[in-house]
Amino acid sequence: MNILSFDIEEWYFEKAFLGDRPSYYRQYDHYLDSILDLLDERQMTATFFCVGQMGAMFPEVVKRIYDRGHEIGCHSNTHTWINKMSRDEVFEDTRQAIDSLQQCIGKKVISYRAPAFSIGKENAWAFEVLAECGVERDASVYPAVRDFGGFAEFGQQKPSVIKRGGCTIKEFPICLTRLMGKEMAYSGGGYFRFFPLWFVKSRMRGSDYNMCYFHIDDLKPENIGVMSKEEYEFYFKEPGSFKNRYMRYIKSNLGKGNALRKLFTLISSMDFVNIEAADRLVEWEKAPIVNLD
Ligand SMILES: [Zn+2]
């Protein structure tokens, strides 16, 4: 089972923080439309995790995705990382986001992905909060150590049932590969840009579960500039030293030149389902149970 997912947030960032430049919206629309066209052609659907503010500020983008038959999931309200929020804040953020997306598409939103995989051992209570807000399926777990976020103690890389505080959530974690003694992703984000396509495909063919995940910004060939100290500290909540900002610049731009072409080749040559369909395919009674109490 290969799952295809996208996190949709760039329009919101542009409007809220980066200058509301029309040329950027045109670029994002263009990349999104080309992905939607290819998925139509392949008769495949993906899950698009949208920030709630996309529903409020850019309802036409969310509707456009939904009207083409894709699943709309929630990617928080304002892309604030879950590990930077209190329990009450997470509740309010998730409630607002789901509300705004549901109003936009007129359908229940029950799939969720935290920004930057920011649910881990320290804030596993977040699953309880998500369940209280109506989330039934989650794709927030990166089951290894990572620059930001990550949940190394999770212990599963396949669909699993999370139990926490009397709540149950179906988890679709990121899948990993071991390379030079380190567990890392291969099927999305910066890892997908970095690895050659033959490597990604061979890992995917060797696994019966793959979770592919992309942001439009991962795929846009145009370079992202070095962030200002203020931008960096606002976004990453850590000191915006030159080293930190420059390392982020390199990671953000690595392999960008042909990432979109690689994604198109991948979608053209392998079959994918969205999380809604994957939920029906998983034999949940045989799935591992991860008890987070
Ligand atoms: Zn995101």
Summarize pLDDT for 2-11 with one digit per residue, the tens.
999 999 999 9
Say if CB 280 and CB 146 are below 8 A apart: no
Confidence of residue 229 (pLDDT cuts 50, 70, 90): confident
Ligand 1 centroid distance, CA of 285 (Å): 31
For 188, half-sphere exposure in the C-beta direction (CA atoms, 13 angstrom radius) is: 21
Ligand 1 centroid distance, CA of 113 (Å): 8
- If one compares 189 and 212, the residue with the highest pLDDT of the two is 212
- E strands of 95-207, at which residues? 111-112, 137-138, 160-164, 167-171, 176-179, 182-185
Q: Using one digit for the tens of pLDDT, what is the confidence trace for 251-293?
A: 665 555 588 889 999 999 999 999 999 999 999 999 999 999 9
Q: Which pLDDT score, from 0 to 100, does residue 258 have? A: 81
Ligand 1 centroid distance, CA of 116 (Å): 6
Ligand 1 centroid distance, CA of 286 (Å): 31
Ion ligand 1 residues within 5 Å by Cβ = 7, 9, 115
For range 61-69, the mean pLDDT = 98
Ligand 1 centroid distance, CA of 243 (Å): 23
Ligand 1 centroid distance, CA of 213 (Å): 10
Residues constituting the chain: 293
Ligand 1 centroid distance, CA of 264 (Å): 21
DSSP annotation of 147: S
Ligand 1 centroid distance, CA of 172 (Å): 16
Ligand 1 centroid distance, CA of 80 (Å): 9
Ligand 1 centroid distance, CA of 88 (Å): 21
Q: Which pLDDT score, from 0 to 100, does residue 243 have? A: 76
Confidence of residue 250 (pLDDT cuts 50, 70, 90): low
Cα–Cα distance measured from residue 251 to residue 237, given in angstroms and rounded to the nearest whole number: 17
Q: Which pLDDT score, from 0 to 100, does residue 222 have? A: 62
Cα–Cα distance measured from residue 283 to residue 293, given in angstroms and rounded to the nearest whole number: 24
Cα–Cα distance measured from residue 83 to residue 118, given in angstroms and rounded to the nearest whole number: 6
Q: Which pLDDT score, from 0 to 100, does residue 253 have? A: 58
- E strands of 165-234, at which residues? 167-171, 176-179, 182-185, 210-215
Cα–Cα distance measured from residue 150 to residue 143, given in angstroms and rounded to the nearest whole number: 6
Ligand 1 centroid distance, CA of 224 (Å): 15
Say if CB 164 and CB 129 are below 8 A apart: no
Ligand 1 centroid distance, CA of 9 (Å): 6
Cα–Cα distance measured from residue 215 to residue 31, given in angstroms and rounded to the nearest whole number: 11
Cα–Cα distance measured from residue 252 to residue 73, given in angstroms and rounded to the nearest whole number: 24
Q: Which pLDDT score, from 0 to 100, does residue 256 have? A: 59
Cα–Cα distance measured from residue 206 to residue 186, given in angstroms and rounded to the nearest whole number: 12
Q: Cβ contacts of residue 144 below 8 Å, gap of 6+?
A: 150, 152, 176, 183, 184
Residue 148 phi/psi, 5-degree rounding, is -130, 140
- Number of other CB atoms surrounding residue 227 within 10 Å: 19
Ligand 1 centroid distance, CA of 10 (Å): 9
Q: Using one digit for the tens of pLDDT, what is the confidence trace for 215-224?
A: 998 887 766 6
Say if CB 47 and CB 5 are below 8 A apart: yes
Q: Cβ contacts of residue 18 below 8 Å, gap of 6+?
A: 24
